[in-house]
Amino acid sequence: MTSTTRRPSPHSRPGRPATGRRALPRVDALESRQLLTLLGQQLFPSDNAWNQNVSAAPVASNSAAIINNIIGRYGDGRFHPDFGQDYRGGNPLYGIPFNVVHGNSQPKVRVVVDGYPDESDLMDAPIPANAVLEGDKQNGPVAGLANRGDSHLIVWDVDNDVAYEFYNASRPGENADGRWHAAQESVWDMKTDTFRPLGWTSADAAGLAILPGLVRPDEALPASQGGQGVINHAIRITLQNSTILNKYVYPASHVANTGTDASVLAPMGARLRLKANVDISGLNPQSKVVAQAMKDYGVIVADNGSNFYASGASYSVDAGNNFTLTWSDADIQDSTRGLKSLTFSDFEVVDTTPVVTGLSASSGSAGATVTVAGLNFSGAAGRLSVLFGGVAATSVTVVDDSHVTAVVPAGTGTVDVRVQSGVTASDARNIKNPVFGYGTSAVTAADRFTYGGTTGPTAAAAFVGTDTTDQGNWRKAFGADGYNIAGDSGAANPKLPSYATLAVNGASTYVWAASTTDPRALQNAANTGRVAGTFYSSKAFSLDLNLTDGKAHQVSLYALDWDLRGRTETIQVVDAGTGTVLDTRALSGFQNGKYLTWNLSGHVLIRVTNTGPSNAVVGGLFFGAAPAASGASATFLGTDSTTAGSWRGVYGADGYNIAQDASAGNPKRPSYATVGLSNALNYTWAASTTDTRALRNSANTGRLAATWYGGGSFSINVNLTDGQAHKVSLYAVDWDNQGRNETIQIIDNATGNVLNTQTVSGFRGGKYLSWSIKGNVTIKVTRVSGPNAVVSGLFFN
């Protein structure tokens, strides 16, 4: 194992402060969320720091200095999973084991605490006779405390959701009095938010619980390997003693270090995060689940040890304390595609101080409810206050990490609304005050509130219905006023109506397929293809939508369980001003895509909460009904396999565009048309040739064999602006005889409707296809077989 100097001796420890008990502000529970947990039990409430998603938290101002200090001292080393496969043999266990007992029937025993009794919970514990300790072998106990490293003993009472954690535990047979001994005992009721008193240690040096920070196979293994496939909590790590500050930050409560330079040292309890731009798509399955958790929930510095050593259990057990699952060392210990492929520089320190970015109302009277938007509002464990000019709101409800509602207290004038995470008290060893929290938001222009004045439009929601027919073809029924499509990086997205503002809070964006022909994927904003993307969170996220014109508008969202994970979720429309839930929908069976539509007004939050095995997802948000009919039309006129490249006199009387023709006359576009290509590449087979399959160049001085092409598909946007129908022809040639086959679709850009589809094959000699087209359309060319889809020229008559 990895521990070095862990904590000061009992004789050198400073005395604990006389903090006493303090009354806490009334804080309602965080929004209902399903946390995938241990044997069906949740380890600490949703608002506990261990369960806080920090993917959107700002980077700490001294993050680079802290990471660079570690690298400067020890090099840019590799992240180290300090746990591994249990081969059920004679080797030592690699990780920290945990024991599951039934506390209602397991007899309890007294443990002699002889290291830190004044900072221990001296309670009888339900320790089973065959308890496994850290440092034991895979097939049995290791005798002698000195042979087991830290010798942690963790016992979890599944009946009561209580964890008993011991440091330097020794068995009765190892002690003269025949009793269990330990240097420290901490008891954690995981049904509630419990912490050590300020300055107290725990079985961990930082004063933290160990069990909720362990990575376990039952949660981290993909579902196909018997696990949950997702980790919804932060992970315990160690750093070298020389890189840790002699102060702590919530949720820690204790220091065990001597470093004094806060600009380059991380305090105990510091939260780090795997950077969002670190590509984990190629990691092994188990490693990928752990890495995603470090992006979403981060890691917490809990003890002295080796740098970036993450703690986990080498195996999981069932309710009878029987072995169930273990890791694959070939997966997690791999330095190419496993967790060891990550390095120190892949991490950053996050700032968990609350941030206020806006208020649902900038003015109002005492008794009104205001929603505060920002960051880092969850994780305060019931200790969150909203202060109006220093006066606490009479009631506070944490909606999610980005929203909290507060009832305005009595006051006058214009004040700053600040969010305080923690209890108003101080401790010299705590790097942030107030204590038991993340501190108080800074004053900004966005937090100004004036007593008196008027409020905005009344929030309302009326559910209209669902749509499972249109799939990704949203232009048929939605989005006339605007849209925001997840994963669409094109310039046309998002397009928001003038009456709406939209913020996506607490969600990350993921793209399953940047380009696909699967009809479940949403049409992109440019209408040149489809994108399968999503906003997502393993727990919950919200769409902060403010409709400012006082009118009701149709708003639809699209959810897609693209990768068939059996997702389920609830979607609530919440009054952003009062926190009142206006409508709730349960969503399941949306592997083919499903729209939900409401008529909404005022300022609302659309809250999306995961209730299933994977995560909560929304692929897009759409304003208004179907776009108005555009009048676009396309009538197929036929093919021509005779003319080949000698197009003059037959095609292009009004204009043309010839691929790769650099002549001064190319392209020549008619006054009634605009043309644009999307996702097309260019290639020239022969810059000059006498082969008649090659198109005559625009200067009529020779022939050019060239093409626009795409490995999957590409598009040609044609907008005929004069309201008339015109003959439009394209020319395709399978120049190098690759057996190409392709489909060509004419799509109405306003509605997304496919107006005509043709399949092209056997065009080694060159083939023209012609349509009579009116309006704004996209000509989409898709490969069916052969290396790519090709078009060599476009002609107008």
Lookup result for tokens 């305005």: 408
pLDDT digits (tens, 9 = 90+) for 515-561: 999 999 999 998 888 999 999 988 889 999 999 888 999 999 999 99
> Of 2.60.120, 2.30.30, 1.10.1220, 3.90.1070, which CATH number belongs to 633-796?
2.60.120
* Amino acid (one-letter) located at 681: L
Burial 74-96 (b: 16+ CB within 10 A, else e): beeebbbbbbbbbeeeeebbbbb
Q: What pLDDT, on the 0 to 100 scale, is given for residue 33? A: 38
Phi, psi for 554 (deg, rounded to 5): -75, 125
Domain with CATH 2.60.40.10 in the chain: 355-451
Q: What pLDDT, on the 0 to 100 scale, is given for residue 578? A: 79
| Cis-peptide, bond into residue 217, ω within 30° of zero | no
Q: What pLDDT, on the 0 to 100 scale, is given for residue 434? A: 66
Domain with CATH 2.60.120 in the chain: 460-623, 633-796
Rounded CA-CA distance 377/355 in Å is 8
* Amino acid (one-letter) located at 663: S
> Of 1.10.3470, 2.40.160, 2.30.30, 2.60.120, which CATH number belongs to 460-623?
2.60.120
Rounded CA-CA distance 75/69 in Å is 9
> Comparing C-alpha atoms, which of 179, 178, 238 is closest to residue 208?
238
pTM summary value: 0.65
> Of 2.40.30.10, 3.30.365.10, 3.40.50.300, 2.60.40.10, which CATH number belongs to 355-451?
2.60.40.10
Q: Which long-range contacts (CB under 8 A, 24 or more apart) does 433-437 make?
A: 435/19, 435/198, 435/250, 436/195, 436/198, 436/250, 436/381, 436/383, 437/250, 437/380, 437/381, 437/383, 437/384
Q: What pLDDT, on the 0 to 100 scale, is given for residue 194? A: 85
Counting as low any pLDDT under 70, the low residues of the chain are 1-36, 424-426, 433-435, 453-456, 627-630
* Strands annotated E in 80-221: 80-82, 99-101, 112-113, 153-157, 162-167, 181-182, 184-189
Cβ atoms of residues 647 and 657 within 8 Å: no
Q: What pLDDT, on the 0 to 100 scale, is given for residue 13? A: 28
Q: What pLDDT, on the 0 to 100 scale, is given for residue 31? A: 36
Query: Which residues share a beta bridge with 547?
Result: 500, 602
Q: What is the 3-state secondary structure (H, E, C) of 508-564?
A: EEEEEECCCCCCCCEECCCCCCEEEEEEEECCEEEEEEEECCCCCEEEEEEECCCCC
Q: What pLDDT, on the 0 to 100 scale, is given for residue 433? A: 65
**Assigned token pair, 678:** 């999307």
Q: What pLDDT, on the 0 to 100 scale, is given for residue 24? A: 30
